[in-house]
Amino acid sequence: MISGSLVIATAVVYVILLFALAYWSDLMARRGQDKLLRSPLVFTLAISVYCTSWTFYGAVGSAARNGLEFLAIYLGPTLVFTGWWFGLRKLVRIGHNQRITSVADLISSRFGKSGRLAVLVTLMAVVGITPYIALQLKAIATSLRVILGSGFDGDELAQAGPLPQSLDDIGLAFAIAAAMALFSILFGTRNVNANEQHHGVVAAIAFEAIVKLIALIAVGLFVVFSIGGGFEATYARAGDAGIVLNATDAFGPRWLTITILSAAAIICLPRQFQITVVENADERHLRTASWAFPLYLLGISIFTLPIAIIGQSVLPAGSDPDMFVLTLPLAYDQQGLALFAFIGGFSSATSMIIIASIALSIMISNHIVVPIALRSTKVPDHESGSGMTRLVLTSRRISIAVVLLLGFIYFWLTAGSGALAPIGLISFAGVAQFLPAIIAALYWRDATARGALAGLLVGFAIWGWSSFLPSFATSSEQIAALLQAGPWGIGFLRPQALLGLDGLDPLVHSVFWSLLGNTIALIGVSLLSENNAMGRLQAHLFVDVFKQSTGGHARYLDSSATLNDLLYMTQRVLGAEPAKALFAKLAPHNKELEATPPTPEFISKLEKELAGSIGAASAHVVLGQVISGESITFEEVLQMADETQKILEYSQRLEHTTEELQSTTSKLRAANQQLRELDQQKDEFLSQVSHEVRTPMTAIRSFAEILLKHDDLESGQRQRFLNTIHDESMRLTSLLDEILDLSALERGETLWHNEPVEIGAALRRAIDVCTPLTNQHNLEVRPKNLTEDVWVVANTDRICQVFINLISNAAKYNDAAQPFVEIDTRTEGEELLVDFSDNGPGIARGDREIIFDKFSRGKRDPESSHSGSGLGLAISLEILIKMGGSLKLLSTGGRGARFQVRLPLAASRVRAPLERA
Amino acid sequence: MRRRRKLEFLAFLLPVGGAILILPPLVLIANANTSIFGFPAIVAYLFAVWLALIIATYLLQHKLGSLQDIDTEPETQPAPPDSGTLK
């Protein structure tokens, strides 16, 4: 028999040891010598907080009652950890990037930092974990009673009726709950860290993980090899022990349900989230945990079934299978081993209670107490600037006490009824309601805050009705009646047969309906609602976490606050010293806090750091109070973070480029068209030139051939032919001269000097030059108003060329009986006008448009067809344009043509002749 | 890129394959009234699958670890919008 004082002393020494370990670890962490503490091994062992007294004691009980079913509790988490690359890694990355402090913070942060969601998840977690805490209390109380009892004595257990025992248990449980509350408060709420990590606690938990594993394996080895005689012999007793291993329905819906529940629990349980995500120091630690944690689970469950078999076959009927781990060594008088087993069970229970209560207290203080304090008009604000710190710590301490009190009350109300495992499964089903929201948070961009809220509410309600409520049936007749008949006798609403779905295992029934309702509500409401700007930003940051740079996004714009304001606010939250340290870290170069406005990056970082201690929603509210710039407009959110927007901008740029390309193409097309037209004009010109050259050439060639072939031509005829050849070659020469002239003019090669020219002299010279031609055609030239001393800006030779061309045209084409051309000059403003009017056939209406084109001669009679190249007017026009003048064909109404030359008057001599006139 | 996709596919296959192995109907095959090395067949089967999953995860995490090291390097530039080169 073990003396009570020895047991109590061992437990106390063990607790003191844990404290010392935690204290020492914190010390090392503060000194920066935390290599071991931040090792993947410690991380993995800490995750093993999953194995509570449910595993230590309850799994054996579960194996004794339901065979292999207990394994599903460990296979679910194994699957989650083998798939770490897709699930846990993303969760941990988001946890780091967003400084997530709890599962409530995760859900709230993802859905637009919604305070309502945070409160709901916190409440759900508190209610959901309550049975789990009660389970630990029951396990410790029962194990304490067993080990303090007179060794193993079945008679005594049988004699003691259930009532006095449960009274004892309740007193014991209350004492344990109080001790655990004290324990957790001392452990977990010594200070508020900037990142909510508790190195000391984690180290202690890792140590406890080792203790419970070794204790269970020690008991297992003793049972299998000392009592059972090896594995084979042990399993051979299974049938006698009444444990059916090959039950046909062992792997039915219940197996599936428990696998799913345990897989969900390893993510959703607040304490698992706390260890895996919040306390994680390095994402790479997951690598080790991915195989080491499943290995731990395998190690801790390898002896479960053998212990159950031996316990069933050796111990008298009616023994509590949940306590086999303890009662077997006691029955064989192994008191040292029994004490070790008790410490192992104590370890598994305390580690769960410590981490769960710390996790819940963080949620309660961050999501319920702090937001209320922030919204209330008066925030405790002491001169030390630590008002908020004190508030946070106090609220956490009270929360821990409340959580444990709730666990105790549950234990009390359910009168400690039932085995350990079913109680734990109720908790699992409760926290599994977070799973749809978490999956949506990580992978579904369009999930909205309303959808998450709806899903959680529906799932929680169904769970409460179909799982939580029925657990009170053993202690409450009303509830037992309710289970039988349904509320107000409505059979459809019976908690364990909703909508008449009868005959299912109650757990399967509850999990099926709650998760189904949860998921449908989440999806349905999400599809019907829209995320706000913050929600969209957060959705992007969560879903695409691996596509982002590690740097934070600036989410505040211009603010009127200075760094000093922010420091003051941070001091209120974190305390004076941590705040200063944080500022030194974030803004090492800014010494003048008064004047410096914070950069958006700084505010963004600060918000994350603050979120690490008081949660995202609260940190957002706190910063929002200080920074009048508040957050962001909708457009800015999109611009900063929305992937869609990036793609949109990209496609807009593309569109812009395409437009530019299109305009360039059309310009090119136009230029090409112009080139083609020019090319065509060139071709036409060439063919015209060839044609023009061909006619005289043909004449010259034929006359030359005649002269060559016929020697006997009379001299008169020969002379005539030679004259023709001469004339034609002259015409050819002049034609070629004109072409060259025109081409030179058009290309602007011919440069001449414009000077003042006396127009009367130029005209007279032209008339003189034309005299032989006019005489030949009997053309009378009638100069009219031939003013003296009128000067124009021109080139004398060129202007004469124009006049000669116009006079000779009049001579050549005039077929009138008494042909004449009248030359009239006058000034008009700054210009001189010279009109050449003849009484010839005029220009046909259709030809007026083309008269100035090259090689166009207008309509004329065949006789005179040889007399011009058709380039004269074109050249004249070109010359006049070069002089700044113009040449026009004026309409004459009746017979005759009238060409008008306009030339600019020479500036200095404009006035004089007019005044004189 | 190709190696990465292969590894990620394996990482995806592990939990899925594990789930298929431990859930009905496959698990029912092992649920026979025979024993292997003194263990009931079903116990031996479940623990063997479990151990195999652990070993496979152990082997794979070594390879995945090198990818993760690349991922955890802090990037200096925000990633440009996916230009579709990953197809």
Does the residue B15 lie in any domain? yes
Q: What pLDDT score does B86 carry?
A: 34
Interface probe with A: pick from B57, B75, B76, most Cβ of A within 10 Å: B57
Q: What angle do CA A500, A505, A508 make, to 5 degrees?
A: 90
Q: Per-domain residue ranges for chain A?
A: 4-367+382-416, 433-548, 549-633, 644-745, 752-916
Res A265: pLDDT: 94
The reply to whether residue A235 touches residue B76, judged by beta carbons under 8 angstroms, is: no
Structural domain span for residue B37: 2-71
Residue whose tokens read 């009234």:
B33
By CA distance, what is A552's nearest residue in B?
B78
Which pLDDT score, from 0 to 100, does residue A869 have? 63
Q: How far apart are CA A206 and CA A203, in angstroms?
A: 5
Q: Cα distance from A211 to chain B (closest Cα, Å)?
A: 22
CB B11 within 8 Å of CB B64 = yes
What is the number of CB-based contacts under 8 A between chain A and chain B? Answer: 129
Domain A752-916 has CATH 3.30.565.10: yes
Kindly write down the DSSP assignment for every residue of A829-845, as one continuous string: TTEEEEEEEE-S----G
Q: Does residue B10 fall inside a structural domain?
A: yes
Partner residue facing A290 (CB), from B57, B76, B82: B57
The whole-number pLDDT of residue B80 equals 37
Q: Which of A312-316, A897-901, B72-76 has the lowest mean pLDDT?
A: B72-76
**Is the distance from CB of A25 to CB of A37 less than 8 angstroms?**
yes
Residue A221 has pLDDT above 80, yes or no: yes
The region of weakest confidence among A190-194, A414-418, A821-825, A885-889 is: A190-194
A6, pLDDT greater than 70: yes
Query: How far is residue B56's CA from residue B59's CA, in Å, rounded to a whole number?
Result: 5
Report which of residues A26 and A599 the model is more confident about.
Answer: A26
The rounded distance, in Å, linking the Cα atoms of A277 and A577 is: 26
DSSP three-state, residue A476: coil
Which CATH number among 3.40.640.10, 1.10.8.590, 1.10.287.130, 3.20.20.60 corresponds to the domain A644-745? Answer: 1.10.287.130
Residue A99 vs residue A565, higher pLDDT: A99
pLDDT attached to residue A906: 80
Q: Specify the range with the lowest mean pLDDT, choosing from A242-256, A369-383, A436-450.
A: A369-383
**Given a cut of 60, is residue A833 above it in pLDDT?**
yes
- Chain A residues whose CB is inside 8 A of the B74 CB are 549-551
Does the bond joining A841 to the residue before it have cis omega, within 30 degrees of 0?
A: no
Name the band, by pLDDT with cuts 50, 70 and 90, for residue A250: confident
Encode pLDDT of A839-870 as tens digits: 888 777 777 777 777 766 554 444 444 456 67
DSSP H or E segment with residue A594: none
Provide the pLDDT for residue A416. 58
Record: contact B79-A548, CB cut-off 8 A: yes
Mean pLDDT of A1-30: 84
Mean pLDDT of A669-689: 85
- pLDDT the model gives residue A858: 52
pLDDT digits (tens, 9 = 90+) for A907-917: 755 444 444 33
Report d(CA A349, CA A184) in Å as an integer: 12
CA distance A362 to A122: 9
Give the pLDDT score at A897.
Answer: 83
pLDDT of A366-386, one tens digit each?
A: 889 888 887 775 544 444 445
The whole-number average pLDDT for the span A230-237 is 89
Asked if residue B85 belongs to a domain, the reply is no
Residue A267 above 90 pLDDT? yes
Residue A380 C-beta-side C-alpha neighbours within 13 Å = 16
Of residues B28, B38, B74, nearest to A231 (C-beta): B38
The alpha carbon of residue B9 is apart from the nearest alpha carbon of chain A, in Å, by 10
Most confidently modeled of A24-33, A350-359, A686-695, A742-751? Answer: A350-359
Phi, psi dihedral angles at A581 (to 5 degrees):
-60, -40
For chain A, the average pLDDT equals 82
| Predicted confidence (pLDDT) per residue in A577-613, tens digit | 778 888 887 777 666 665 666 777 777 778 777 777 7
Tell whether B7 is covered by a domain: yes
Looking at the structure of chain B, the number of domains it has is 1
Residue A119 has pLDDT above 90, yes or no: yes
Q: What is the mean pLDDT of residues A209-238?
A: 92
- 3-state DSSP assignment of residue A784: strand
Q: Is A250 close to B38, i.e. CB distance below 8 A?
A: no
Which residues of B are less than 8 Å from A252 in CB distance? 24
CB nearest A650 (choices: B56, B77, B81): B81
Q: SS3 of A900, please?
A: strand
> Is residue A345 a contact partner of residue A57, using CB atoms and an 8 Å limit?
yes
Check whether A639 has a pLDDT greater than 60. Answer: no
Q: Which amino acid, B18?
A: G
* Pair A901, A751: CB distance under 8 Å: no
Neighbour-count burial of A1, counting CB atoms closer than 10 A to its CB (0-12 exposed, 13-18 middle, 19+ buried): middle
Average pLDDT of the residues in A224-243: 87
In a domain, B53, yes or no: yes
pLDDT range class, residue A462, cuts 50, 70, 90 = very high
Q: What is residue A820's three-state secondary structure?
A: strand
The answer on pLDDT for B84 being more than 60 is no
Record: contact B54-A288, CB cut-off 8 A: no
Model pLDDT, residue A853 = 74
Say if the Cβ atoms of A284 and B8 lie within 8 Å.
Answer: no
C-alpha span between A128 and A522 (Å, rounded): 20
Please give, rounded to a whole number of angstroms, the shortest distance from the CA of A647 to a CA of chain B: 6
Measured CA to CA, the distance from residue A830 to residue A822 in angstroms comes to 23
- pLDDT for A56 equals 93
| Residue A459 near residue A124, CB atoms below 8 Å | no
Q: Which helix (H) or strand (E) holds A827?
A: strand A820-828
Q: For A483-531, write each residue's pLDDT tens digit.
A: 887 788 787 888 888 887 887 889 999 999 999 999 999 999 999 998 8
pLDDT attached to residue A861: 45
In this predicted model, which residue has the larger pLDDT, A907 or B3?
B3
Question: What pLDDT shows up at residue A865?
Answer: 46
Residue A45 has pLDDT above 90, yes or no: yes
**What value does the mean pLDDT take over residues A196-223?**
90
Mean pLDDT of A641-646: 50
Provide the pLDDT confidence category of residue A158 given band limits of 50, 70 and 90. very low
For an interface test with B, the pick among A68, A73, A74, A79 (most B C-beta atoms closer than 10 Å) comes out as: A79
Each residue's pLDDT tens digit, B5-63 = 888 899 999 999 999 999 988 888 888 888 888 888 899 999 999 999 999 999 998 88
Is residue B83 assigned to a domain? no
**Percent above pLDDT 90 for chain A:** 28
* The domain defined by A4-367+382-416 carries CATH number 1.20.1730.10: yes
Which pLDDT belongs to residue A196? 62
Closest in B32, B61, B81 to A646, CB measured = B81
Query: CA distances (Å), A751 to each of A149, A591, A883, in order?
Result: 130, 76, 11
So what's the ipTM on this one? 0.84
Q: In degrees rounded to 5, what are phi and psi of residue A46? A: -65, -35
* pLDDT at A468 exceeding the cut of 80: yes
Q: Which has more pLDDT, A712 or A666?
A: A666
